[in-house]
Structure 1
Amino acid sequence: MFAFRLGVVVLLSLLSGCETVATRPAGHLGEISADAAVAAATFGPGDRLWRLITAGGRLYVDASDDHGASFTRPVPLNADAERVLAQAEDRPVIAVDAQERVYVLYAVGTPDAATSYLSVSNTAGRSFQAPVPVSDPAKASGHTQDAMVVARSGRIYAFWNDDVDMGAARAEKQGAGLYFATAVAPLAAGLPNRKLTNGMCNCCRIAVDVGVDDLPVVFGRFVFRGSIRDHGMLKVSPAGLVGPPWRVTEDEWRIEACPMHGPALSIAPDGRYHAVWFTQGRRRQGLFYAHSDDQGKHFSNPMAIGEARKLAQHADVLAAGTGVVLVWKEFDGRQTHILSMRSANGGDTWSAPSAIARTSSDSDYPFLIKDSSGIFLSWNNAEHGHQLITIR
């Protein structure tokens, strides 16, 4: 975990109660706190940019109507500092629905237990309801990987990994359970949660997107027989699983440890699934991209991404119409670079890789977000702070 230098303008805003943080250079979102190493961002209605910052055991949400040149006063979610579980591979999540309700999903751990909480703002981010638990308490070491999507209907789906009820599966090293909760606003005092499946690789992030049928699809690393850690998918409705999970990758990565390197998924308006993942398997090694036109049952031949000698890692993918963008990290021995590839025909052909950002400091994973004008890189690093960079 790295630390950012203190953002004086934001700190003064918090102390004075003023409503707008000072204007910043284009693309530079600034810093909120000395330890705000983990940030998440998304766009909502009206192309408003929403940002979630974890700092000092508190969570803050702010917003920008000018692509990060200025921000509203950060609004705290939790009243007191807590042991919020926030790291690059396992982080709090923010989502915004069509009515500009803002949802935040995060986990709090103690030495004995961890619980995921959901907080919602019905006032367009000006205030948040008290967080409500969505998971049962579990061992902190076994409760990981919060993920969340809001369907077009407005229904929210929250997911997480948990080994609270593994029994014999834990002894046989068959992975953790995947749980979910779902609701439609306004939220009740607590949300019932259910197990979807066993066999999840507990330390790898979960990727979730909503399909053309308005149901979420989960893409994650599973633990298959023989400690093979390849990827699988499953579809979920409000009632639970829509059929059993199915295997997607056949890389044959046998490892008795967690890679801490989850995949990414984006489902285009035409229904094409775009997936990226990392493997060190017997059949292939490195970062890969593939797409599917039959709801994830079959994928195109995997396309290698990046340079293995530069440690290509932690890719993200995002589709907008027939346009698709890939981003990932590489390290050349001195600097970390964010590279990008673009496709204008739904992933059939791709541009050559191009470097779009770099830093000599510690940095977060790269993430892609979109509004009506295009696709953007959202990236945090200690040298430049939180950046929003136009890609297309």
Structure 2
Amino acid sequence: MKGIGIRIGAALFACALSMPGGAQQARHASKPRLDLNASATIDRHGVLWALYTEGRHLLLRRTADFGRTWSAPQPVNQRPEDIAADGDSRPKIAVAPNGDVYVSWTQPLSKPYTGHIRFARSTDGGKRFSEPITVNTDREEITHRFDSLTVNGKGQIFVAWVDKRDRVAAEKAGKDGYRGAAVYYAVSDDRGTSFRGDYKVADHSCECCRIGLLPQEDGSVLAMWRHIFAPNIRDHALTRLTADGEPGKVRRVTFDDWRVEACPHHGPSLAGVKDGPLHAVWFTQGDKRNGVYYGRLGDGVVEGLRQVGGDTAAHADVAAAGKRVAVAWKEFDGKRTQLRAMISEDEGRTWREHTLAETDGPSGQPSVLTHEDRFYVFWHTRQQPLSVHAVP
């Protein structure tokens, strides 16, 4: 996902421009497919699972020693299919409390910027995966893309995505002015055998930024996404997704006033623990501030607001363990991309920074993972594939 370079020009990977007759289309900059946007998670036993693409297949590997040795690649989809594997649209992985392994991805369709949300599961510890299913019940050849995946403590699976069915319906009805897309989600109660939904969360989301998901103790899931507030302010919104398909009230949680006719392919990340603050990182080029930022989300206010890295910082991720918080991001100095991290021992009030790695080749987005109150950063690069870095 987050490989944004120098200021606003490099931020606008995809532009949504007004077209004659009120119609809009997303314009995306051409960029080579690097297949470096892998995802990772750590299960309750400390095993790290990494998911990445190779051609038209998803491959899964695991390590019990934080990247020193890896298992052989295990294919997720036996039948080849198109898989979105760039930027905020990379495949996702989650491991349930019972050890089931769940994978979601976007399957591109024949028309530009269209897709279906796909899902596969393994109930035997990642040895074999089920035949993939399509999660979204709406099967029109439109945008169902940018999936996010999580599992709550009860084992229920939540998949959220960006969806343009309401925009298409508005255009067919001759109604101009529908902003962006919408956020939808679905829930599985049977370990991924089936999903129920599609449940609408909100109209007017950004068209191409990832959705941050955070499971809660009560079984609900917090969702944070880049929203298009009237008339065209691309700040962030937050709500609570419930298993019964009744999402909570949508509230604005960042206040940068970024007014732009574009989607930056640069979604937020969300973290928190029981009875602790809600930590977030996000990217903005707003009237009030520019760059990647960290903050603790409150009611109408962002506490502890802090810029992350310098002007070229991009694609930050955040995780929390007790009062400890870690943020990782990429930063380009004109020649090399550094993997940077900062860590707080006091819920984000004070920080210390570290450089974990660097590369002069292509790289994917970093992920911050936790195990036994320690932080690890997973980073998939051309020079160092599937690398794992402990945060000091």
* Same fold (TM > 0.5): yes
1:183 Cα shift? Answer: 1.2
1:268 Cα shift? Answer: 2.0
Report SS of the residue matched to 1:229: strand
The answer to whether 1:388 aligns with 2:391 is no
Q: Are residues 284 and 35 of structure 1, via their aligned partners in 2, closer, same or farther at CA, if it must alter by over 3 Å?
A: closer
Cα separation, 1, equivalents of 2:261 and 2:300:
27
Report SS of the residue matched to 1:53: strand
Q: Tell whether the 8 Å contact from 1:339 to 1:356 is kept in structure 2 after alignment.
A: yes
Q: Tell whether the 8 Å contact from 2:279 to 2:318 is kept in structure 1 after alignment.
A: yes
Q: Are residues 348 and 241 of structure 1, via their aligned partners in 2, closer, same or farther at CA, if it must alter by over 3 Å?
A: farther
Cα separation, 1, equivalents of 2:54 and 2:391:
28
Structure 2 matches for 1:79-158, cutoff 5 A?
A: 79-112=78-111, 113-135=114-136, 136-139=138-141, 142-158=143-159
Structure 2 residue identity aligned to 1:305: V
Report SS of the residue matched to 2:88: coil
* 1:16 aligned residue: none
Structure 2 unaligned segments of length 5 or more: list them.
2-32
1:190 Cα shift? Answer: 5.3
Structure 2 residue identity aligned to 1:274: H
Q: Deviations over 1:128-165 (max 9, x none)?
A: 1111111133445x332110111011111000001023
Q: Tell whether the 8 Å contact from 1:138 to 1:162 is kept in structure 2 after alignment.
A: no
Q: Tell whether the 8 Å contact from 1:359 to 1:383 is kept in structure 2 after alignment.
A: yes
Cα separation, 2, equivalents of 1:38 and 1:279:
21
Q: Are residues 122 and 60 of structure 1, via their aligned partners in 2, closer, same or farther at CA, if it must alter by over 3 Å?
A: same
Normalised TM-score (structure 2): 0.85
* 2:208 aligned residue: 203
How many pairs are equivalent? 354
What stretches of structure 1 move > 3 A for 4+ residues in a row?
A: 186-192
- Which residue of 253, 259, 262 corresponds with 2:258? 253
Q: Tell whether the 8 Å contact from 1:212 to 1:271 is kept in structure 2 after alignment.
A: no
Identity of aligned residues (%): 32
The answer to whether 1:307 aligns with 2:310 is yes
Q: Tell whether the 8 Å contact from 2:304 to 2:349 is kept in structure 1 after alignment.
A: no
1:189 Cα shift? Answer: 4.7
Q: Tell whether the 8 Å contact from 1:234 to 1:241 is kept in structure 2 after alignment.
A: no
Cα separation, 2, equivalents of 1:190 and 1:153:
15
* 1:219 aligned residue: 224
CA RMSD of aligned residues (A): 2.0
* 1:9 aligned residue: none
Cα separation, 2, equivalents of 1:98 and 1:66:
20
1:196 Cα shift? Answer: 1.7
Structure 1 residue identity aligned to 2:86: Q
- Which residue of 288, 293, 298 corresponds with 1:283? 288
Structure 1 residue identity aligned to 2:265: M
1:224 Cα shift? Answer: 0.9
Q: Tell whether the 8 Å contact from 1:35 to 1:55 is kept in structure 2 after alignment.
A: no
Report SS of the residue matched to 2:262: coil
Structure 2 residue identity aligned to 1:39: A
* 1:4 aligned residue: none
Cα separation, 1, equivalents of 2:326 and 2:44:
22
1:64 Cα shift? Answer: 1.7
Q: Tell whether the 8 Å contact from 1:138 to 1:163 is kept in structure 2 after alignment.
A: no
